[in-house]
Amino acid sequence: MIPYHNQTYKTGVWKMVVKQPTVKELKETIDDLKKQVTYLNDARMAQNRIIDKDECLTKLELSEPIFTLRGRDRLAPMIIRLWADLTATQAGSIDKAKDGYRKAEFFDRWAQENKSKFPD
């Protein structure tokens, strides 16, 4: 990174001395900034792909907490089915419950084709 300035004390007065960055320092700073921008763009694109696929995430409040289950978690299908059962019986939302059961089946299929494990 570029060292922007330092301060010196001469004859009772603080004086700001600005250091002119070298070409090498400028190139290093530009490269660092490009990496940061690329990382942020990649993260934003991944986030947008996830949000576009899941309707409930489009309704998410900025500070609202969420809990994520991954396909490799062996407990995930059981937890999703429990949620679907409670959604059907407690909230009376049959359509949401059906969606939950479909997702649990998708998790089961994925786990059969890939490695699944219990949470660490």
104 with 78, same domain? yes
The number of residues in the chain equals 120
Q: Within the chain, where are the H helices?
A: 23-53, 55-58, 76-86, 94-113
21 with 49, same domain? yes
85 with 105, same domain? yes
97 with 71, same domain? yes
Residue 40 lies in a domain: yes
Show Cβ contacts of residue 94 under 8 Å, excluding neighbours closer than 6 positions: 88
How many domains, the chain? 2
Tokens of 63: 């500070």
Give the model's pLDDT for residue 88.
92
Q: What are the CA-CA distances from residue 109 to residues 74, 101, 102 (Å)? A: 11, 12, 11
11 with 38, same domain? yes
Residue 92 lies in a domain: yes
Mean pLDDT of 21-45: 82
Decide if pLDDT at 4 tops 70: no
- Using only the alpha carbons of the chain, give its radius of gyration: 26
Q: What are the CA-CA distances from residue 66 to residues 89, 99, 107 (Å)? A: 22, 18, 19
Domain range for 38 is 5-56
Model pLDDT for residues 78-110, shown as the tens digit of each residue: 999 999 999 999 988 899 899 999 999 999 998
Give the model's pLDDT for residue 71.
87
- Cα–Cα distance for residue pair 14/4, rounded to 1 Å: 16
Model pLDDT for residues 46-73, shown as the tens digit of each residue: 666 655 566 677 777 888 888 888 888 9
Residue 118 lies in a domain: no
Higher pLDDT, 7 or 27: 27
Boundary residue ending a domain (14, 36, 56): 56
Q: Name the band, by pLDDT with cuts 50, 70 and 90, for residue 11.
A: low
**Model-wide pTM > 0.75:** no
75 with 44, same domain? no
